[in-house]
Amino acid sequence: MDIETVLPDYHTFNFEEGNYKTTYTRKYQNRKAYEAPDPRKVYGFIPGTVMKVYVKEKQRVKKGEPLLILQAMKMNNIIAAPINGVIKKVYVKVGDMVPKIQMLVEFK
């Protein structure tokens, strides 16, 4: 009996030392594909409360300029602009409680 009969969904990896055959777990096969981070979208990196918003839509900002203050674990975190650009949309307002993965600001 060969490996193709026993492992119908096997995958082969080629190394300098030879080939390695394996199967993927269902969790691995159903995983979300990797997406490179988009610098035009600013997400919260920790759950917290928006304390102050410095920018508004259509405002031009420079890299490193503060966009907003996010308070988390009794610390104020300044969220700075990752790029030079124009603000397309601000998704939060003062007092909003945001989860870790929520989009805060988007650039054009």
Check residue 9 and give its pLDDT. Answer: 66
81 CB neighbour count, 10 Å cutoff: 20
Q: Dump pLDDT digits (tens) for 58-97.
A: 999 999 999 999 999 999 999 999 999 999 999 999 999 9
Query: Distance (Å, rounded) from C-alpha 25 to C-alpha 60?
Result: 47
Q: Dump pLDDT digits (tens) for 21-49.
A: 777 788 888 888 888 989 999 999 999 99
- Per-residue pLDDT for 7 more than 80? no
Check residue 103 and give its pLDDT. Answer: 96
**Domains located in the chain, CATH noted:** 41-107 (2.40.50.100)
The helix (H) or strand (E) run that includes residue 26 is helix 26-29
Check residue 15 and give its pLDDT. Answer: 78
Q: Where are the beta strands (DSSP E) in the chain?
A: 10-15, 18-23, 41-43, 48-53, 60-61, 66-72, 75-80, 85-90, 97-98, 103-107
